[in-house]
Copies of this chain bind each other. A is one copy, B any other.
Amino acid sequence: MAEILRVGVAGLGTVGASVVRLLLRQAQALAARTGREIVVTAVSARDKGKDRGVDLAGAAFYDDPIALAAADGIDLFVELIGGSEGPARVSVETALAKGKSVVTANKALLSAHGSALAELAESRHVALAFEASVAGGIPIVKTLREGLAGNSIERVYGILNGTCNYILSRMEAERLSFEECLKEAQRLGYAEADPTFDIGGFDSAHKLSILASLAFGARIAPEAVEIEGIERVTLADIDAAGELGFRIKLLGVAQRTAQGIEQRVHPTMVRKTTAIAQVMGVTNAVTIDADAVHELTLVGPGAGGDATASAVVADIADIAKGVRSAPFGLPSASLRKLERAPAALHEGGYYIRLAVPDVPGAFAAIATAMAERKISLESIMQHGARAARRSGAAQVGTQVGVILITHATTERLVREALDAIYADGVIAEPAQVIRIERE
């Protein structure tokens, strides 16, 4: 058997402790699979004394993760600190510069500096692996980088944030408001005290930018992700979606178009019959459309100590076997600058919910604004007084909810039509607009 692989783990929170536990529990199987004994020889954490339920007696302790990253006693550095800057970034850079392979679960770091870190890793002929950074235990990075190597990928999209999917699932199942479900998610530990990062779509955007780089052979471009969170989704929308055969999911979508690459995170209407629509609760799912394999969907846990550790350990095992893929599939020098498709040119169907005064001509004005821009309608549904009351939708005076489902059109035309409708002065509230993702 080859030399021992000496692993240093920085960050001993839930995931870090699980990584140490899995490496011990699977030590024999991993040695047989990889041909090397894998041993955690050093760790770093904020609180040395804390009981984490794992045996760290044999491991050297470092207060400073950067010192751990530079230590001679490790061959592989596992970064589980978090954050795109500070100790996480400096320690990863230090380890790579010292010629040590790095495994990280840090999507914020990858999204901000992934392309530069990949260059550094390649220049030192070491691995930079990050399966755990996207969709927790789902092997989506490996699938995109290796499993679909023979494909040209058209689109990759998915449910990348368990908190948001939990909230949307609960709103539908329990008929509760967004605020009520958010509070419940916080109570259960599925959402942070400050939930902005999750519900605002920023966490999904980090992950999406990594997937887009892998899928399209482009440098990571987080600034090119359009981001919209789930805060504005109401029970009225969820009801209307259900009646029309849709479900609302927060999706991250990266798509190749004639205008460039679209990267967008937003509440999305998906047909109930699709695999992605079936995914409820904190579960994640990713679907890939590619020329040869057509459609592939992976469903699994997007978070949790053991599930995330499963991905970290798989990366460690690949490195132990000597696998040295370019971090993003293609060598960094071959990664193109991501050509951003203008958001206004997005093509697709739209769900539009309008609060329309119950006066003659109000609906004609809407229909005219749509027709003038050649937006054709797949369906029109009036969400009457009873439905509106049941779902708690705003209902001022004699307004009625009107829901339009458009055929494929462009974002620009939809926005122009709405501006024309607003200019008429008959519609007081801004419309709820939700994109429909094609199957």
Contacts and interface: CB of A to CB of B under 8 A. Distances in A.
B275 A137 contact: no
B334 A32 contact: yes
B292 A309 contact: yes
Given A294-B137, A306-B293, A313 B150 contact: yes
A138 B32 contact: no
Contacts of A290: 310
A26 interface: yes
Query: Oligomeric state, in number of copies?
Result: 2
A217 B30 CA distance: 12
A307 B293 contact: yes
Nearest to A290: B310
Contacts of A291: 306
A2 to B, nearest CB: 13
B217 A148 contact: no
Nearest to A141: B147
Contact of A33 (B297, B300, B330): B330
A150 B295 contact: no
Given A146-B142, A313-B149, A334-B32, A293 B301 contact: yes
A27 to B, nearest CB: 11
B149 A30 contact: yes
Interface in A292-318: 292-301, 304, 306-307, 309-314, 316-318
A284 to B, nearest CB: 10
Contact of A22 (B137, B292, B294, B313): B292
Interface stretch (A177-185, A189-197, A320-328, A368-376): A320-328
B331 A306 contact: no
A139 to B, nearest CB: 3
16 contacts: A22-B292, A29-B217, A137-B296, A138-B296, A139-B143, A146-B317, A148-B310, A148-B314, A150-B314, A151-B310, A292-B307, A292-B310, A293-B310, A294-B304, A297-B298, A298-B298
Interface of A: 18, 22-23, 25-26, 29-30, 32-34, 131, 137-139, 142-143, 146-152, 217, 275, 278-279, 290-301, 304, 306-307, 309-314, 316-318, 321, 323, 325-326, 329-331, 334
